Amino acid sequence: MAESRGQWSGRIGFILAATGSAIGLGNLWKFPYITHENNGGAFVLVYIGMVLLVGVPIMIAEILVGRRTQLSPVGAFRSLGKDKPGGGAWTGVGFLGVLAGFTILSYYSVVAGWTIHYTYLSLTGELATLATDPHALQTYFGRDFLANGKLQVMYHLMFMGFTTGAVYFGVQKGIERVAKILLPLLFLILLVLLAYSSTTSGFNEALHFLFVPDFSTLTTGSVLEALGHAFFTLSLGMGAMLTYGSYINKDISIPRAAFQISLLDTVIALIACVIMFSIINSSDIEVSKSSTILFTTIPTVFAQLPAAGFFNAIFYLLIGFAALTSTISLLEVVSSYAIDDLGWTRRRASVTMGSVIAVFGVLNALSLGGNATLTSINLVGRESTAGVFGTMDYLASNWFLPVGGFLIALFVGWILGVRDTVDELQKGHGEMPWFKLWHVLIKFVAPLAVGAIIVSVILGREYQ
């Protein structure tokens, strides 16, 4: 069974693939702009706290369920839940994960596709020309690019093509190989950009902004946003880490791996912030709408440097790479359901699921201005949920992931049973002096914290 499902080549293969899943647009696009909106320092500290107290424990729980069952989410919860309280109903957690993977991928790949266009614009020099005038670039981004349905669909389909290709070739030859090549490259490019940013005049100010907390600016909203983001950036709540965990051997320490993946993810997010804030601070260009910093402000700042085209190109390529190792994990969850549960071959599963999501994603691609109906549809009725794109993001970030994470924590904390849990965690790890601490976190702290997100969503606050 394990043979036909696939396995990582070893510990490093797993860590790289899982870190590749974790590091993505969440780190390089979303984290910098929400840190900017939430005034830096204190938010960063709370975020790190959330990663440690909630993120790492839930990641351990997910990987543990995956390795225990050697199955993807639907099968995993079905087999473990079978003779426990709740029984077959736990299978629903698996299906929720598949639904979340489908939904997230359908819009994530649209944004990921932007990086291809921006790499292209950098190489042709067009971006540098546009970026000499901040307003011209804003207009270009919103009117000529987002609202250009043809371009949006084309890049989205391209990105889905790359993603499907990697999943098609399997756990070791596809997913792991891509991560092994792209991740080191990503680290290297980031280090080059970090070294460069340290020579800019805005570097110290950026460090101050990020690492000197001012708690007076912290609100309940930012605490919950930090938690929601910790979830998204660590790829938790929908069984992605569970699925990747189903391809590991018993000789790997799950807690150590979870800690290392989370650490790498957090360090990369912080480096991305240092780079971006340094270069923004060194110029007198004002940051307009935070969520578009990456595609409007950054190129404008780069434009003032020598070799702007070059820096821009490697920068967008980097973001594209990071996004690709994340979209791969999203498609893997959906595909492995078809492989494990429907008995499909990997080829059939990846191509069919990849195509269905690609086609559905066209609706997202056209809802950024390309098509009036899709752009204005608003099922939730709040500003940020406008369009099919906004609705999908809202559903995934506010409902599917928190509810999924909540149920995974409940399952492992309360239902699975201490004996099975300890048994699985000890394999590849040995003595666990911190087991009680983890158990308290997964039983009480994680469900309560994630429950707070769900309650606040019900009460009407959104976390994107």
Q: Contact positions toward ligand TRP, by CB under 6 A?
A: 21-22, 24-27, 104, 232-233, 235, 237-238, 240, 326, 329-330, 401
As measured in angstroms, the least distance from the Cβ of 411 to ligand TRP is 17
Closer residue to ligand TRP, CB minimum distance, 292 or 326: 326
As measured in angstroms, the least distance from the Cβ of 23 to ligand TRP is 6
Query: What is the rounded distance in angstroms from the CA atom of residue 41 to the CA atom of residue 38?
Result: 9
As measured in angstroms, the least distance from the Cβ of 433 to ligand TRP is 30
Residue type, 86: G
- What count of residues does the chain have? 464
As measured in angstroms, the least distance from the Cβ of 324 to ligand TRP is 11
Closer residue to ligand TRP, CB minimum distance, 24 or 174: 24
Cβ-closest position to ligand TRP: 26
As measured in angstroms, the least distance from the Cβ of 322 to ligand TRP is 7
Which of 34, 31, 39, 33 is closest to 214 using CA atoms? 39
Closer residue to ligand TRP, CB minimum distance, 235 or 456: 235
Closer residue to ligand TRP, CB minimum distance, 200 or 233: 233
Longest dimension (CA), the chain: 65
Closer residue to ligand TRP, CB minimum distance, 332 or 341: 332
Closer residue to ligand TRP, CB minimum distance, 22 or 276: 22
**Phi and psi based region of residue 248 (left: phi greater than 0; alpha: psi -120 to 50; beta: remaining):** beta
Q: For the CA atoms of 202, 207, 209, 211, what is the dihedral angle to 10 degrees?
A: 180
Assess contact for 179 and 20: CB atoms under 8 A: yes
Query: What is the rounded distance in angstroms from the CA atom of residue 137 to the CA atom of residue 115?
Result: 15
Residue type, 307: A
Closer residue to ligand TRP, CB minimum distance, 21 or 115: 21
Closer residue to ligand TRP, CB minimum distance, 25 or 308: 25
Closer residue to ligand TRP, CB minimum distance, 200 or 325: 325
As measured in angstroms, the least distance from the Cβ of 62 to ligand TRP is 10
Closer residue to ligand TRP, CB minimum distance, 8 or 203: 8
